[in-house]
Copies of this chain bind each other. A is one copy, B any other.
Amino acid sequence: MTIINDRLLKALRLEPVDRPPVWLMRQAGRYLPEYLQVRAEAGSFMDLCRNAELASEVAMQPLRRYPLDASILFSDILTIPDAMGLGLQFVSGEGPVFERPVKTLRDIEKLPSPDVHDELGYVMDVVRAMRVKIGQDLPIIGFSGSPWTLACYMLEGQGTRDFATARSWLWRAPQALQQLLDKLVITVTDYLAAQAEAGVDVLMLFDTWGGLLSEAHYRKFSLQPMANIIAQLKSRHGCSLPVILFSKGCHTQIDEMLKSGCAGLGVDWRISIDAALRQAGGRVAVQGNLDPTALLAEPAAIRQIATEQFAAAVSQPGFIFNLGHGIMPQVPPDNVSCLLDTVHALSARQ
Protein backbone atom coordinates (compact mmCIF):
# COMPACT_ATOMS: atom_id res chain seq x y z
CA MET A 1 0.00 0.00 0.00
CA THR A 2 1.32 3.41 -0.80
CA ILE A 3 1.12 6.51 1.35
CA ILE A 4 -1.06 9.21 -0.18
CA ASN A 5 0.91 12.22 1.10
CA ASP A 6 4.38 11.02 0.17
CA ARG A 7 6.26 14.33 0.30
CA LEU A 8 8.41 13.23 3.24
CA LEU A 9 9.26 9.91 1.58
CA LYS A 10 10.10 11.64 -1.69
CA ALA A 11 12.26 14.24 0.05
CA LEU A 12 14.16 11.43 1.79
CA ARG A 13 14.78 9.88 -1.65
CA LEU A 14 15.85 13.33 -2.90
CA GLU A 15 13.05 13.24 -5.48
CA PRO A 16 11.21 16.38 -6.61
CA VAL A 17 8.23 17.44 -4.46
CA ASP A 18 5.48 19.99 -5.15
CA ARG A 19 6.52 21.66 -1.89
CA PRO A 20 8.86 20.77 1.01
CA PRO A 21 7.33 18.40 3.55
CA VAL A 22 6.62 19.95 6.94
CA TRP A 23 6.40 18.38 10.37
CA LEU A 24 7.50 19.51 13.82
CA MET A 25 9.41 17.64 16.49
CA ARG A 26 7.11 17.15 19.55
CA GLN A 27 4.13 18.19 17.40
CA ALA A 28 2.07 16.02 19.80
CA GLY A 29 2.71 17.36 23.26
CA ARG A 30 2.20 19.60 26.22
CA TYR A 31 1.63 22.85 24.28
CA LEU A 32 -1.76 21.44 23.13
CA PRO A 33 -4.63 21.73 25.63
CA GLU A 34 -6.25 18.57 24.21
CA TYR A 35 -3.00 16.71 24.93
CA LEU A 36 -2.99 17.89 28.54
CA GLN A 37 -6.55 16.61 28.92
CA VAL A 38 -5.66 13.10 27.71
CA ARG A 39 -2.45 13.19 29.71
CA ALA A 40 -4.44 13.91 32.88
CA GLU A 41 -6.76 10.98 32.15
CA ALA A 42 -3.96 8.56 31.39
CA GLY A 43 -2.20 8.46 34.76
CA SER A 44 1.59 8.68 34.50
CA PHE A 45 3.42 9.64 31.31
CA MET A 46 4.52 6.02 30.87
CA ASP A 47 0.91 4.89 31.37
CA LEU A 48 0.05 7.12 28.42
CA CYS A 49 2.89 5.63 26.32
CA ARG A 50 1.64 2.13 27.19
CA ASN A 51 -1.98 2.84 26.29
CA ALA A 52 -2.31 2.33 22.52
CA GLU A 53 -5.72 3.98 22.34
CA LEU A 54 -4.66 7.14 24.17
CA ALA A 55 -1.15 7.34 22.71
CA SER A 56 -2.50 7.02 19.16
CA GLU A 57 -5.12 9.65 20.01
CA VAL A 58 -2.52 12.20 21.12
CA ALA A 59 -0.43 11.43 18.01
CA MET A 60 -3.51 12.39 15.93
CA GLN A 61 -4.20 15.66 17.74
CA PRO A 62 -1.73 17.90 15.86
CA LEU A 63 -2.85 16.36 12.54
CA ARG A 64 -6.41 17.59 13.19
CA ARG A 65 -5.21 21.11 13.93
CA TYR A 66 -2.45 21.65 11.44
CA PRO A 67 -1.54 20.86 7.82
CA LEU A 68 1.35 18.47 8.55
CA ASP A 69 3.04 16.04 6.17
CA ALA A 70 3.98 13.37 8.70
CA SER A 71 2.90 11.82 11.96
CA ILE A 72 5.31 10.53 14.54
CA LEU A 73 4.96 7.65 16.96
CA PHE A 74 3.95 8.89 20.38
CA SER A 75 6.42 7.39 22.82
CA ASP A 76 9.56 8.24 24.75
CA ILE A 77 13.21 7.89 23.75
CA LEU A 78 13.94 5.97 26.98
CA THR A 79 11.64 2.96 26.50
CA ILE A 80 14.61 0.64 25.85
CA PRO A 81 16.46 1.21 29.14
CA ASP A 82 13.10 0.81 30.86
CA ALA A 83 12.67 -2.55 29.11
CA MET A 84 16.18 -3.48 30.26
CA GLY A 85 14.96 -3.16 33.84
CA LEU A 86 16.21 0.29 34.88
CA GLY A 87 12.77 1.45 36.02
CA LEU A 88 11.87 4.65 34.17
CA GLN A 89 9.97 7.28 36.15
CA PHE A 90 8.98 10.79 35.18
CA VAL A 91 9.36 13.04 38.18
CA SER A 92 7.31 16.20 37.88
CA GLY A 93 9.51 19.15 36.92
CA GLU A 94 12.64 17.01 36.74
CA GLY A 95 12.09 14.82 33.70
CA PRO A 96 13.14 11.18 33.39
CA VAL A 97 14.75 9.38 36.31
CA PHE A 98 15.89 5.75 36.44
CA GLU A 99 15.32 3.88 39.69
CA ARG A 100 18.23 1.53 38.96
CA PRO A 101 20.89 3.35 36.92
CA VAL A 102 23.94 1.54 35.55
CA LYS A 103 26.80 2.05 38.02
CA THR A 104 29.35 -0.69 37.34
CA LEU A 105 30.76 -2.91 34.62
CA ARG A 106 28.90 -5.75 36.32
CA ASP A 107 25.64 -3.82 35.83
CA ILE A 108 26.42 -3.61 32.11
CA GLU A 109 27.25 -7.32 31.88
CA LYS A 110 24.00 -8.19 33.65
CA LEU A 111 21.80 -6.00 31.43
CA PRO A 112 19.33 -8.24 29.61
CA SER A 113 18.78 -7.94 25.86
CA PRO A 114 15.02 -7.59 25.92
CA ASP A 115 12.78 -9.29 23.39
CA VAL A 116 11.37 -6.15 21.86
CA HIS A 117 8.12 -7.86 20.84
CA ASP A 118 7.49 -8.91 24.43
CA GLU A 119 8.90 -6.07 26.45
CA LEU A 120 8.21 -3.23 24.04
CA GLY A 121 5.15 -4.69 22.30
CA TYR A 122 3.12 -1.78 23.67
CA VAL A 123 5.05 0.55 21.34
CA MET A 124 4.18 -1.58 18.31
CA ASP A 125 0.54 -1.53 19.49
CA VAL A 126 0.67 2.28 19.36
CA VAL A 127 2.05 2.15 15.80
CA ARG A 128 -0.77 -0.18 14.70
CA ALA A 129 -3.43 1.94 16.42
CA MET A 130 -2.00 5.04 14.71
CA ARG A 131 -2.14 3.29 11.33
CA VAL A 132 -5.80 2.45 11.85
CA LYS A 133 -6.56 6.10 12.56
CA ILE A 134 -4.31 7.62 9.88
CA GLY A 135 -4.99 5.04 7.19
CA GLN A 136 -2.68 5.63 4.24
CA ASP A 137 -2.99 9.39 4.39
CA LEU A 138 0.36 10.18 5.96
CA PRO A 139 3.67 8.49 6.72
CA ILE A 140 4.35 7.48 10.32
CA ILE A 141 7.83 8.14 11.71
CA GLY A 142 9.13 5.59 14.22
CA PHE A 143 12.10 6.36 16.43
CA SER A 144 14.52 5.46 19.16
CA GLY A 145 17.06 7.28 21.24
CA SER A 146 20.58 6.71 19.90
CA PRO A 147 22.82 4.29 21.82
CA TRP A 148 25.00 7.14 23.15
CA THR A 149 21.99 9.17 24.27
CA LEU A 150 20.42 6.13 25.95
CA ALA A 151 23.76 5.39 27.63
CA CYS A 152 23.91 9.00 28.90
CA TYR A 153 20.66 8.58 30.83
CA MET A 154 21.43 5.00 31.90
CA LEU A 155 24.82 5.96 33.37
CA GLU A 156 23.72 9.30 34.80
CA GLY A 157 20.41 8.02 36.13
CA GLN A 158 18.59 11.17 34.99
CA GLY A 159 18.92 14.20 32.77
CA THR A 160 21.58 16.65 33.99
CA ARG A 161 23.12 19.68 32.38
CA ASP A 162 26.43 18.12 31.42
CA PHE A 163 26.05 14.36 32.00
CA ALA A 164 29.41 14.45 33.76
CA THR A 165 29.05 10.97 35.29
CA ALA A 166 28.14 9.45 31.92
CA ARG A 167 30.98 11.30 30.18
CA SER A 168 33.48 10.14 32.80
CA TRP A 169 33.05 6.59 31.40
CA LEU A 170 34.74 7.83 28.21
CA TRP A 171 37.92 8.11 30.25
CA ARG A 172 37.40 5.76 33.19
CA ALA A 173 36.07 2.76 31.35
CA PRO A 174 35.88 3.21 27.58
CA GLN A 175 35.71 -0.56 26.98
CA ALA A 176 32.80 -1.01 29.35
CA LEU A 177 31.08 1.94 27.69
CA GLN A 178 31.66 0.28 24.31
CA GLN A 179 30.15 -2.92 25.68
CA LEU A 180 27.05 -1.00 26.79
CA LEU A 181 26.78 0.70 23.39
CA ASP A 182 27.16 -2.66 21.60
CA LYS A 183 24.27 -4.07 23.63
CA LEU A 184 22.19 -1.02 22.86
CA VAL A 185 22.95 -1.30 19.12
CA ILE A 186 21.39 -4.78 19.11
CA THR A 187 18.25 -3.75 20.97
CA VAL A 188 17.77 -0.45 19.12
CA THR A 189 18.10 -2.34 15.82
CA ASP A 190 15.52 -4.94 16.87
CA TYR A 191 13.26 -2.22 18.18
CA LEU A 192 13.33 -0.14 14.98
CA ALA A 193 12.86 -3.29 12.86
CA ALA A 194 9.81 -4.18 14.97
CA GLN A 195 8.42 -0.68 14.47
CA ALA A 196 8.96 -1.12 10.73
CA GLU A 197 7.09 -4.44 10.79
CA ALA A 198 4.28 -2.78 12.74
CA GLY A 199 3.93 -0.25 9.97
CA VAL A 200 6.07 2.85 10.31
CA ASP A 201 7.41 4.36 7.08
CA VAL A 202 10.45 6.29 8.28
CA LEU A 203 12.86 5.75 11.20
CA MET A 204 14.59 8.41 13.22
CA LEU A 205 17.48 8.23 15.70
CA PHE A 206 17.40 10.97 18.34
CA ASP A 207 20.98 11.60 19.43
CA THR A 208 20.15 14.42 21.82
CA TRP A 209 23.50 14.32 23.59
CA GLY A 210 25.99 13.67 20.78
CA GLY A 211 26.97 17.33 21.10
CA LEU A 212 28.50 16.73 24.54
CA LEU A 213 31.32 14.77 22.91
CA SER A 214 34.61 15.77 21.38
CA GLU A 215 34.70 15.19 17.64
CA ALA A 216 36.76 12.01 17.99
CA HIS A 217 34.50 10.65 20.73
CA TYR A 218 31.40 11.56 18.74
CA ARG A 219 32.59 9.52 15.79
CA LYS A 220 33.50 6.50 17.90
CA PHE A 221 30.82 6.42 20.61
CA SER A 222 27.84 8.12 18.99
CA LEU A 223 28.03 8.05 15.19
CA GLN A 224 29.56 4.59 14.72
CA PRO A 225 26.87 2.82 16.80
CA MET A 226 24.19 4.61 14.75
CA ALA A 227 25.91 3.59 11.51
CA ASN A 228 25.98 0.02 12.84
CA ILE A 229 22.23 0.15 13.48
CA ILE A 230 21.53 1.40 9.96
CA ALA A 231 23.71 -1.36 8.46
CA GLN A 232 22.16 -4.09 10.64
CA LEU A 233 18.61 -2.99 9.94
CA LYS A 234 19.31 -3.92 6.35
CA SER A 235 21.56 -6.96 6.81
CA ARG A 236 19.82 -8.63 9.76
CA HIS A 237 16.24 -7.54 9.21
CA GLY A 238 16.01 -6.79 5.50
CA CYS A 239 14.61 -3.41 6.53
CA SER A 240 15.40 -0.62 4.11
CA LEU A 241 13.26 2.19 5.50
CA PRO A 242 14.92 5.61 5.31
CA VAL A 243 16.64 6.62 8.55
CA ILE A 244 16.93 10.22 9.75
CA LEU A 245 19.85 10.81 12.07
CA PHE A 246 19.55 13.76 14.44
CA SER A 247 22.68 14.50 16.44
CA LYS A 248 21.97 17.75 18.25
CA GLY A 249 24.91 20.14 18.38
CA CYS A 250 27.08 18.09 15.99
CA HIS A 251 26.93 20.06 12.78
CA THR A 252 30.70 20.16 12.44
CA GLN A 253 30.48 16.43 11.77
CA ILE A 254 28.08 16.47 8.81
CA ASP A 255 30.72 15.07 6.44
CA GLU A 256 31.19 12.10 8.75
CA MET A 257 27.43 11.61 9.19
CA LEU A 258 27.08 11.29 5.42
CA LYS A 259 28.98 8.00 5.65
CA SER A 260 26.49 6.50 8.14
CA GLY A 261 24.02 5.25 5.56
CA CYS A 262 21.30 7.63 6.74
CA ALA A 263 18.75 9.04 4.28
CA GLY A 264 18.35 12.32 6.13
CA LEU A 265 20.11 14.49 8.69
CA GLY A 266 18.32 16.49 11.34
CA VAL A 267 20.12 19.70 12.25
CA ASP A 268 19.55 22.11 15.10
CA TRP A 269 19.38 25.92 14.83
CA ARG A 270 23.05 26.49 15.46
CA ILE A 271 23.94 26.02 11.79
CA SER A 272 22.14 27.97 9.07
CA ILE A 273 19.86 25.78 6.99
CA ASP A 274 21.56 26.75 3.74
CA ALA A 275 24.98 25.87 5.14
CA ALA A 276 23.63 22.48 6.26
CA LEU A 277 22.06 21.82 2.87
CA ARG A 278 25.26 22.91 1.15
CA GLN A 279 27.32 20.51 3.27
CA ALA A 280 24.89 17.67 2.65
CA GLY A 281 25.40 18.48 -1.02
CA GLY A 282 22.27 16.70 -2.26
CA ARG A 283 23.54 13.35 -0.95
CA VAL A 284 20.99 13.12 1.90
CA ALA A 285 17.90 15.06 2.93
CA VAL A 286 18.24 17.79 5.57
CA GLN A 287 15.56 18.30 8.20
CA GLY A 288 15.32 21.39 10.36
CA ASN A 289 16.00 23.80 11.87
CA LEU A 290 14.02 26.78 13.13
CA ASP A 291 14.96 27.73 16.71
CA PRO A 292 11.95 26.50 18.71
CA THR A 293 12.11 29.62 20.90
CA ALA A 294 11.09 31.61 17.79
CA LEU A 295 7.58 30.21 18.38
CA LEU A 296 7.39 32.44 21.45
CA ALA A 297 7.54 35.58 19.28
CA GLU A 298 4.67 37.66 17.90
CA PRO A 299 3.01 36.40 14.69
CA ALA A 300 4.65 39.10 12.55
CA ALA A 301 8.09 38.00 13.75
CA ILE A 302 7.25 34.32 13.24
CA ARG A 303 6.17 35.07 9.67
CA GLN A 304 9.43 36.87 8.98
CA ILE A 305 11.59 34.15 10.50
CA ALA A 306 9.76 31.40 8.61
CA THR A 307 10.03 33.34 5.37
CA GLU A 308 13.79 33.77 5.74
CA GLN A 309 14.26 30.12 6.65
CA PHE A 310 12.13 28.95 3.77
CA ALA A 311 13.76 31.23 1.20
CA ALA A 312 17.19 29.95 2.18
CA ALA A 313 16.23 26.30 1.73
CA VAL A 314 13.29 25.76 -0.59
CA SER A 315 15.21 25.37 -3.82
CA GLN A 316 17.39 22.57 -2.45
CA PRO A 317 16.47 18.91 -3.02
CA GLY A 318 15.70 16.97 0.13
CA PHE A 319 14.70 19.89 2.36
CA ILE A 320 12.31 18.91 5.16
CA PHE A 321 10.91 21.88 7.09
CA ASN A 322 11.03 21.35 10.85
CA LEU A 323 12.25 22.93 14.05
CA GLY A 324 15.81 22.56 15.33
CA HIS A 325 14.49 20.86 18.50
CA GLY A 326 11.07 19.98 19.95
CA ILE A 327 8.21 22.43 20.44
CA MET A 328 8.32 23.83 23.97
CA PRO A 329 5.34 23.40 26.32
CA GLN A 330 4.82 27.16 26.68
CA VAL A 331 4.27 27.75 22.92
CA PRO A 332 0.77 29.11 22.08
CA PRO A 333 -0.89 26.72 19.58
CA ASP A 334 -1.89 29.73 17.45
CA ASN A 335 1.78 30.50 16.90
CA VAL A 336 2.23 27.03 15.42
CA SER A 337 -0.69 27.79 13.08
CA CYS A 338 0.98 31.04 12.13
CA LEU A 339 4.24 29.25 11.33
CA LEU A 340 2.61 26.52 9.26
CA ASP A 341 0.26 28.92 7.43
CA THR A 342 3.27 31.02 6.49
CA VAL A 343 5.19 28.03 5.19
CA HIS A 344 2.22 26.81 3.17
CA ALA A 345 1.56 30.25 1.72
CA LEU A 346 5.19 30.47 0.65
CA SER A 347 4.99 26.99 -0.88
CA ALA A 348 1.91 27.97 -2.88
CA ARG A 349 3.81 30.90 -4.36
CA GLN A 350 6.69 28.74 -5.61
How far apart sit A302 and B168, CA to CA, in the bound complex (Å)? Answer: 11
Interfacial chain B residues near A168, Cβ < 8 Å = 293-294, 296-297
* Copies of chain A in the complex: 2
**Option from B211, B301, B330 in Cβ contact (under 8 Å) with A172:** B301
Determine the interface band of chain A, counting residues with CB < 8 A from chain B. 20 to 34
A215-B272 CB under 8 A given contacts A171-B293, A172-B298, A293-B167: yes
A171 and B251 CA atoms in complex are apart in Å by 22
Is A172 a contact partner of B213 (Cβ separation < 8 A)?
Answer: no
Contact A170 B271 (CB under 8 A): no
Contact A269 B172 (CB under 8 A): no
- How far, in angstroms, from A170 to B270 measured CA to CA in the complex? 13
Q: Are A214 and B269 in contact (CB under 8 A)?
A: yes
| A294 B214 Cβ-Cβ under 8 A | no
A221 to chain B, nearest CB (A): 13
| Chain A residues proximal to chain B, CB less than 8 Å | 159, 161-162, 164, 167-168, 170-172, 211, 213-216, 249, 251-252, 269-272, 291-294, 296-298, 301-302, 305, 325, 328, 330
Which 3 interchain pairs have the tightest Cβ spacing? Answer: A171-B297, A168-B296, A167-B293
